[in-house]
Structures are given as C-alpha cells and as structure tokens.
A and B are shown apart, each in its own frame.
Chain A
Amino acid sequence: MNSLEEKVLSMINEKEVVEFLQQLIRSKSTYPPGDTREVANVCLRKLVEAGVEAKLIYPDHDAKSIWDDGVDHNNIPSVLGVLKGRKEKPVLVYNAHIDTVRVEDSDKWKYDPFSGVVEDGYIYGRGAGDDKSSVAAQIMAAVALARAGVKLNGTLIVNPVADEEACSYRGTKWLRDKGYLNPDYLVIGEQTDNKVAVAERAVLWIEVTIKGKAAHGAMPWEGDNAVVRAAQFINLVESDLVPRLQERTHPYLPHSTISVTKINGGVNSNAIPEICNITLDRRLVPGETKEQVLKEINDLLAKLADETSPFEWELKVTYDAGAPVNTDPNEGLIKTLLGIVEDLTGEKTNPIGYRQGSDGRLFADRAIPIAIYGPSDPAVGHSTNERVSIKQLVEATKVYTLLALRMLG
C-alpha cells in the first residue's frame, strides 16, 4: 500500500460509516411500494457534501415494470454520483440497490427492523445486508476519495439504484438503456461476505401457452385437451431436459436448471380445456443463451407434436434478467480486487460464484469485466434479524476505495 492509498484510507471514519448505514436503514424503502425518495436523498446529500457531483434520476413513463404494481415513478428515484478525474475514460461503475424487500415478520425481530440498532459489532435492520451496506461502502469510498482530493485517471460513477427488488426494469435496466451507465469496469455491490464473485447464472421466466380445442365434457373425443398436452410436455421436461441441464456445469455455480413453477389450465371440470399456461423458471449458466433456451423448449414441444399429433403453442418471455455473468478470473479487475482483499485481510482468497441474482446480468452481454462484491452473508438477506458486521462494512469501504485508486490510478 502506498502513501496515497494510506492517506485516502485515513479519511474513512468507522463511526461515520456506521452512522451513515444506520441512516440508510432508517430511511425505509421496502418494496412494494419501493419508495426510495428518502433514502436517495440521504445518499445524494452525503455525496454532494463531500464534493461529488450527484443527482437524482427518476424513471420516465416508458420505463415499465414486469409487475403491474401501481408504483408512481416519482417515488422511485435512483442516484447518479460522478467523481470526475483527469480524463473521462475508463469508467468504473459502482452499483448497489437502495430498495429492500418487505418485513413480513417484524414481531420476530430482536429490534425494530428500521432502527439500525448496533449490538456486538453488528448493525441490524432490513437492508443491513441486502443491500444498504454495499450502498454505504460504495458511497463512503467515493466520499473518502473526494475528501482526499484525489484526481483519478478516469471516471468513478457511484450508482445507488432503485427498483432492484422489483426486477430492475425501472432501475438499473432503465438507466442502462437510457445511456446513463457505460462502464468499462463494473462492480455490483451485493452480499458476498466480502468475497469476490465473478460468475452468476441468468434467469428467464417463460410462459408456455398450449392451445388445444375446447369441447363439452360429455364428448372429450371431440376436443384436444390442453391440460393433457401440458402434462405430456412437463413429463418430457422432467425426463428429457432436466438430465441434460444437470450436465451443464460451471466451476463457481450450480448447474443449469429448469423449474415448472406455475400451471393453470381449464375453466371447469366439465369442459375440455382449450388453453393451458405453464410458467418455467430457467436458470442459465455461462455459455447458455436466451435464444438457445427458447429453441430447446420449442424443440421439445415440436418433438411432442411429432410423437402425438399437431397442436399449437406460444412461448413468451415474461422476465428476462439479462445474461449469465462470467468474468475471467485473470481479468485485471478481478486480480486487483483479489489483491486488495488479500492486502487488507492478510488472507489469500479465491473467486466465487454469486448464487442469487444481481443487476450485473444486465451488462453480461457487454465485453466488460464484472465483479460482485459486498459485505454480509447472503443467508441473512431477506430474512429475520438481517445484519452486517461493522468489521466487514468498514473493510468493504476500504476495498472499494482502493479499487478505484488502483483501477483508475
């Protein structure tokens, strides 16, 4: 560690970092409705006070969620903080989400989930792990760099973002599509227990609509039962596709999977169902593409039609969370991150896979390195007594600080 790095790290004050995270937790932003106005303003103020250029960005009317949840776009601002350097490129983006999931069981919590109580070195609260500790670490890193008056050789963008828990269509995805985010390097702050994640599966939700022919229940032979077709298809998924997907593995990730998560067909027991809808949850490992996945399902349906008799179907992607993340561990971003973690902890660590879903997938089809890194154990996210250790929080703040210095040094 050089003297500049030491100087910048000295700007990080544990008490201030803890208090900032407490303030983020107290700014309730649970989805639904995912109102981020207060928490976004807390982020904005912290950045601006330190001299980082920052503004709130509201999704416009063409930003449409997959949910028809009635959320007012004026209530879900994201934040864009820009620490300009000597030159514009390269651009390093830190992204972490400021909305959280709901608290369904507040009576089971040790403390009010929106108070940010500190006990035995941990900060408790909804979002303490997922994902306000990452937000705090990324912002406090930018603040430290600004306070130290560092001029980077590139641009650092800090992006506390809304709508992640609602699937990001009005958050990161929208910002990306509108050209606000064009990273050369991207780090997504999510719970990795301060380990460096380099890979993540993608998710597709696919609705299969099977069309049969309706008929009166007394004359089933006159119809073509869509529910029976659907059952034949599902049997084929289980016997044919599932074993093939189990062979598609990745060193850091679970294998490729398909789950039939919903089925709904027919109106009454006494009529031959004309339509049956099936929802598939498909997790793609690196190497698999959306086109390939859809073709595979189409082929399976075509095979069924071949083996039985012709029928019609439709496939519709109802949720597309981008492509699988698969960053080469030999990329500069990853090696630098692993080096920083080793410098700060004295321990050598290996890259890992991220098991949950992050906004990193929205950039996975771009040829840029993506890392996922943040404090707190993913097991406590979305759960009762969610918490983060202060030690990890401060360590993550230092990691983000040093990463900007070393990548844009």
Chain B
Amino acid sequence: MQMGELLDAVKTAVDADEVLEIVRRLVMTPSHWALAEREKPIALVLKNLFEDEGIDVFLQEVIDGRPNVIATIKGTGGGKSLMFNGHIDTVPPFGMKDPFSAVVENGKLFGRGSADMKAGVGAMAYALIVIKRLGIQLKGDLVFAGVIDEDAAGSAGTRYLVKNGPKTDYAIVGEPTNLHPVVAHKGIDYFEIVFRGKSVHSSVPENGVNAILAAADFIGRIERQMVPRYAGLVHPLVGAPTINVGLIQGCAQGNMPFLLGQSPTFAGTVPDVCKVYIDIRWTPYQTIDQVTQDVMNLAQIVQEERSDVTVEVNYIPMPRPAMEIDSKHNLVQVLNKHIKTVLGSERLVRGETYWGDSGLLYGLAGIPTLMFGPGDISCAHSDDEFIEISQLASAVKIYALTALDICGHEE
C-alpha cells in the first residue's frame, strides 16, 4: 500500500466508538494500589481483548502475582522494533465522585485513570488491533507493554521489562501529553542524610552533640550554595534542576516512637539522630553520579565544620533517570509527521515537569523513547479527572501510522 492508501485504510479501520468503549471498560476496572487485587483484573481485561483479536499476548508476573500485559505483533524481520508502553495502575479515587462509572458527558469521559493513563493504554492497545485487522505484515516487532506500579511510585513493571525484556529499538510511553511529543523530562532521585551526635540530658546541652543543629546547618547550606548553583543549570526543555528538602525527623533515639505519634511528647534529651530526606529533580544535562557527588560534597563540609557529628549520605536506590531524545531523531520526526497527517499540523516538541517510565526505558535500558498520549496531565490524580473523547481516535491513528512507519511493513 502507498502512503495515501495506508492512511485511508487506518482512518477507516479506526472506530471512534470502539476505542471509547475500550477506554471506558478500562476505567470501569479499578486498578489502584488500595485494592487487594491491584492490577490483576485490568490485566485480564486487556489479555482477553488481545486474545479475541488473535494477537499474541501473555501475562508477565512481576511481583506478588501482579502482572504486566505483553502483546506482540511479530515482524518478519529487517525493521525496527517499537514498544507502546503504558502503566495500567492508577492512583486511588481519593475524593473523586463516581470514579469507576466512566460517565460520558459533553464530549468528555470522566473517571479515575481516564487521563492518567487508561486513555493512552486503550488507544495503544487499539492501535495494535487496527493493524492486526488490516492484515498488514510488519517487519519489526510491535510490542504493547501494559505495566504495573507506575502510579504506586515503584515502577516495578517497567523495571522488570528493563531487566527481563522484551526490549525494543524504540519506545513510546503513552502518558497524557495532550498529543504533544514530549522529548525530555527530569530525573528524580531521593537521598537520606543521617546526622548522628550524642544524647545527654537537655539541661546540660554542652555535654552532648545535637544532631538537629548539624542537620539545620546542612539544610542552610543547600539553600545558600546548592539551590543557587542549580538554578543556573537551565535545560531548554525542562528548566533548571530543583532540590526539595521534603522531610526531617530528629530526636533522641530513645524517643523515636514519639515522632510516630505512638507515645506522648518527651523533649528532655539532646537529640542524637536527625534524618533529612531530599528530592532532587535533575535535568538530562546531569547524571545521577554528579548529583550524588554534589550532595556528598555538601555533607562533607558539614562533617568538617562539626567534627563531633557523623554525617552519612544514603542514596535511596530506586533510580528514576531523566529522559531526552533529540528532536531530529527519526522517532520524533516520524511521530510529528503523522501528528501533522492526523491533526493538520506538527506540534512543538516539549519537555515535561513530571516523570514517567520513559526515564527507565531511556536511562536504564538505553532505548530512544518519547512520551506521547491523549489527555491533560493537569487533571491527573485530581477529583475531576477526564479525557477529551475526540483525542482518542486521533491518538490511535497517530500510534498506528507511527508504528507502520517505524517497524516498516511488507508491500
């Protein structure tokens, strides 16, 4: 088929009502972390959907019986392989009214996960179905990976893929980007910094070493030294790296339960331990090793100024790397070409403030990856989450055409 014919075939094959029903069914199948069954029910819905179409599919158990759903349209060889990656979990409903009824109103579909990211998951799954129904023989493999645990903040699903496969040449993560190609986002890493001193009765503080004073000194240095320096490291798409001192807990170790509210307040002892937790959002210009070194250097200064304190920097080993793909990369070019075909014009590439599994595919597996999907991130996790229904069919067409282009196909 020629490009024009292919386009017409895809356009005809995409049934807007059908993709809406698929997304509605996904929304009606809760898959948040407060449920005992977690992602199992939605994984089965997807598995059945692919099986009914004769597409190869299997459940890949990740942890505690929680599976990824992997569907594959095998290529004949000689083409690039492409993964559509989307998390199948959501955050809990929180205060949302009617989170699982998938109400349709004024061109919008409401519900938990409608934007983040069951619309993307449904559209990507439906793109495979469309290609399968058209009977087009791909050259490279097209893989759908519905992954667990992204909104639960562990990303165990994609971490499992990175380690055990399947891996592809390229990947598209269907996060809600409002149908814009997102080519960069920050990395996020957490550090625990532990300050240890010596407890004594608080009537004679000079005889002890107050761990909280050292921690406050460290935080002061973050503000005065690290924050201004980082503010200068601006990346054109994602901005400057940020540091957040998100949590501090300090007291005499003997009083630890007091912090947890298990016992009443006791304040008569100089604290011998204080823990500070920081969140650093770094840009694709940086590496996690550099960032770690920055934190260590600052801790070292406090250690030198306060020789009676011991400072320990612990990297919390759950890497969430930054992602960046060159705007001239074939994947971006091809995607934008089909955005133009379907929506009438190309869309500006942009960076995002939020993180997605694209960081793992790019940063850990080295797969050129971008984010692209229907829906608006600003309503994600909120009590008013929805998806513009008109975006669904457009997304499917763009996904399908991009896959045909990237994977290549037999004439």
Interface check A52, CB cutoff 8 A: no
Complex partner residue of B204 from A203, A225, A254, CB under 8 angstroms: A254
Query: Are B216 and A262 within 8 A (Cβ)?
Result: no
Q: Could you tell me the dominant secondary structure of chain A's interface residues?
A: mixed
**Could you list 7 examples of A-B contacts with CB < 8 Å?**
A68-B264, A261-B251, A263-B248, A263-B249, A264-B249, A268-B246, A281-B202
| Closest CB in chain A relative to B356 CB, distance in Å | 12
**What is the chain A residue whose CB lies nearest that of B223?**
A228
Contacts of A259 in B (CB 8 A): 202, 205, 210, 270
A231 to B206, CA, bound (A): 20
**What is the chain A residue whose CB lies nearest that of B260?**
A264
Contacts of B252 in A (CB 8 A): 261
Query: Are A270 and B244 within 8 A (Cβ)?
Result: yes
Instruction: Show the binding face of B for A, using Cβ within 8 Å.
Output: 186, 188, 190, 202-206, 210, 212-213, 215-220, 222-223, 242-252, 255, 258-259, 264-265, 267-271, 274, 277-279, 281, 353-355
Interface check A218, CB cutoff 8 A: yes
Interface check A33, CB cutoff 8 A: no
| Closest CB in chain B relative to A275 CB, distance in Å | 11
Query: Are B251 and A235 within 8 A (Cβ)?
Result: no
Interface check A331, CB cutoff 8 A: no
| Closest CB in chain A relative to B213 CB, distance in Å | 5
Of the four ranges (under 10, 10 to 19, 20 to 34, 35 or more), the interface on chain A belongs to 35 or more
Query: Are B267 and A262 within 8 A (Cβ)?
Result: yes
| Closest CB in chain A relative to B312 CB, distance in Å | 16
A130 to B178, CA, bound (A): 72
Which of B216, B218, B219, B222 has the most C-beta atoms of chain A within 10 angstroms of its own C-beta?
B216
Query: Are B220 and A220 within 8 A (Cβ)?
Result: no
Contacts of A201 in B (CB 8 A): 203
**What is the chain A residue whose CB lies nearest that of B219?**
A231
Which of B203, B210, B215 has the most C-beta atoms of chain A within 10 angstroms of its own C-beta?
B203
Which of B246, B274, B353 has the most C-beta atoms of chain A within 10 angstroms of its own C-beta?
B246
Known: A68-B264, A219-B353, A269-B190. A235 touches B245 (CB 8 A): no
A262 to B219, CA, bound (A): 16
A130 to B269, CA, bound (A): 20
Which of A264, A273, A355 has the most C-beta atoms of chain B within 10 angstroms of its own C-beta?
A264
Query: Are A266 and B210 within 8 A (Cβ)?
Result: no
Query: Are A269 and B205 within 8 A (Cβ)?
Result: no
Query: Are B216 and A261 within 8 A (Cβ)?
Result: no
Interface check A16, CB cutoff 8 A: no
Interface check A257, CB cutoff 8 A: yes
- Taking A217-B279, A318-B265 as given, write out 8 further A-B residue pairs in contact, using a Cβ cutoff of 8 Å, ordered by the A residue number: A235-B217, A235-B220, A261-B202, A261-B267, A262-B212, A263-B271, A264-B251, A266-B247
Query: Are A257 and B205 within 8 A (Cβ)?
Result: yes
A257 to B203, CA, bound (A): 7
Query: Are A269 and B277 within 8 A (Cβ)?
Result: yes
Contacts of A270 in B (CB 8 A): 188, 190, 244, 246, 279
Complex partner residue of B203 from A231, A272, A355, CB under 8 angstroms: A355
| Closest CB in chain B relative to A310 CB, distance in Å | 17
Residues of chain A in range 230-268 having any CB-CB distance to chain B below 8 Å? 230-235, 238, 254, 257-268
Interface check A276, CB cutoff 8 A: yes
**What is the chain A residue whose CB lies nearest that of B355?**
A218
A74 to B184, CA, bound (A): 68
Interface check A114, CB cutoff 8 A: no
Query: Are B279 and A262 within 8 A (Cβ)?
Result: no
**What is the chain B residue whose CB lies nearest that of A69?**
B264
Complex partner residue of B281 from A217, A254, A280, A355, CB under 8 angstroms: A217
Complex partner residue of B216 from A67, A69, A231, A281, CB under 8 angstroms: A231
Contacts of A268 in B (CB 8 A): 246-247
**What is the chain B residue whose CB lies nearest that of A265?**
B248
Query: Are A67 and B190 within 8 A (Cβ)?
Result: no
Complex partner residue of A234 from B216, B277, B355, CB under 8 angstroms: B216
**What is the chain B residue whose CB lies nearest that of A266?**
B247
Query: Are A264 and B248 within 8 A (Cβ)?
Result: yes
Which of A219, A220, A254, A357 has the most C-beta atoms of chain B within 10 angstroms of its own C-beta?
A220
Interface check A271, CB cutoff 8 A: yes
A146 to B259, CA, bound (A): 51
Contacts of B278 in A (CB 8 A): 269
Which of B248, B252, B274, B278 has the most C-beta atoms of chain A within 10 angstroms of its own C-beta?
B248
Query: Are B246 and A228 within 8 A (Cβ)?
Result: no
| Closest CB in chain A relative to B214 CB, distance in Å | 10
